[in-house]
Amino acid sequence: MTDSFDVIVIGAGPGGYVAAIRCAQLGLSTACIDNLINHKGDPALGGTCLNVGCIPSKALLDSSEQYHRLVHRFPAHGIKAKGVSMDVPTMQNRKESIVEGLTSGIAQLFKANKVTSIHGFGRLTMDNTVNVIDESGQIMRTLVGRDIILAPGSTPAHLPKIPFDHEFVLDSTGALNLENVPKRLGIIGAGVIGLELGSVWNRLGSEVTLLEALDDFLPVADHQVAREARRQFTKQGLDIRLGAAVSKLSKSKNGLRVHFLQKDADDSVEVDRVVVAIGRRPATDGVISADSGVGTDSRGFIVVDDECRTNVPNVWAIGDAVRGPMLAHKSSEEGMAVAERIAGGKAHVDFNCVPWVIYTSPEIAWVGRTENELKAAGHDIRTGSFPFAATGRARAMEEPVGFVKMVADAKTDRLLGVHMIGPHVSELINECVLAMEYQASSEDLARTIHAHPSLSEAVHEAALAVDRRAIHKVN
């Protein structure tokens, strides 16, 4: 028996489930297929982000930050506590409760919007036909869709010489599920994932060593932000080693020894657990059969145009499996846009205005291009920055670290990028995203009244500083 739908979505992560809901809202009969199983062994919607990525990591980051504040920052407020300890299993239970609440919420949204949710592995074949495959590899069900949206997401990348054993050598999921604080934790990769995971366990008492093969720290971020971030993380106790190319693991008397090459010299570090956090790769294996005709590149990414169309008519692809940053909110916006296009409407996604956030402490956030990128491209620019230490709110919060940096075109003053490191910049960046979406100038932000005292005053002053007229710092 073959079931027919207007739209079939493969994948129920932030791209897939959003696309499915919006398609249904637009009056299209919609099915969404996903094979994720949660820690209880039950089907769960939400993909990597909600189940083993964005949400659980932020839950642990918040718990560990609360503990760190109590021990290290609260005394400055006159708050003293004795015998403080962290119950890691309780912390993990809280995390799972948050995840379950959100994933069950998606199931309710599917039901309310009449999205047909199907558990299984979706594989696209020819003529817009999708086979739903069970765990044994058998076809349970066959669907035909007028339009197909591929949203399979991504999976942790691995090092061939260092396979996961999920006990001592962990991927990001394993690092989120530790029931005890390892005394010594080695993390291969000092990117977004490595820094966030390292921050969690470092705050709880683990000796964390991050081994990064690149010579530059956070090369995707503004160079001044990256420099400040490394300084702050080092002060917190993270041991960040750059240009450290890991070659192998060996067992030692007291744990594991991670061997790496640094500055043409062999070196090693002894740890109790190792987390491989070298990035993610598209989870497209088995999703597209050869006879479907859908093209992929050498790295497994599905090839799409600017509107997320594949080379096969009526087959679309979104999210981590296509070009662009692997960010949940980028996936969701692509899902919304594709739904609108399928329904015959207009859609808009500006990839120049996608915000990035690293949820460490201090937080890091940016939108647009960096100063170095713009200079390399031949742009004539002006910059302005302002430190949080010069704002009353940050000082009152005992978080006077970091700054806001604004980059504008030297002739038109149009904002080209905004880069931040400091308290709650994950929230502050959105004002700048909106400004750039409206093609605002730094003068537009400079002329906008910001509440006092607030952290957002740093944004206002950075805008003033582009024209060398900041009030609360020397220009």
Q: Catalytic amino acids?
A: 452
- Contact (Cβ atoms closer than 8 angstroms) between residue 234 and residue 401: no
Residue 164 is classified by DSSP as -
Please give the backbone phi and psi of residue 94, each rounded to the nearest 5 degrees, phi first: -60, -45
Q: Copy the structure tokens of residue 176.
A: 């989120």
Identify the sign of the CA torsion 415, 421, 423, 429.
positive
Distance CA 269, CA 12 (A): 40
Distance CA 190, CA 240 (A): 7
Grouping H, G, I as helix, E, B as strand and the rest as coil, residue 170 is strand
In sequence order, what E strands does 217-333 have? 239-241, 244-252, 255-262, 265-271, 273-276, 280-282, 315-317
Is residue 285 classed exposed, middle or buried when 0-12, 13-18 and 19+ CB atoms within 10 A define those classes? exposed
- Classify each residue of 43-72 as buried b or exposed e, where b means 16 or more C-beta atoms within 10 Å of its C-beta: bbbbbbbbbbbbbbbebbbbbbbebbbebe
Distance CA 308, CA 337 (A): 9
Nearest C-alpha neighbor of 88 from the set 194, 201, 187: 201
- Contact (Cβ atoms closer than 8 angstroms) between residue 7 and residue 28: yes
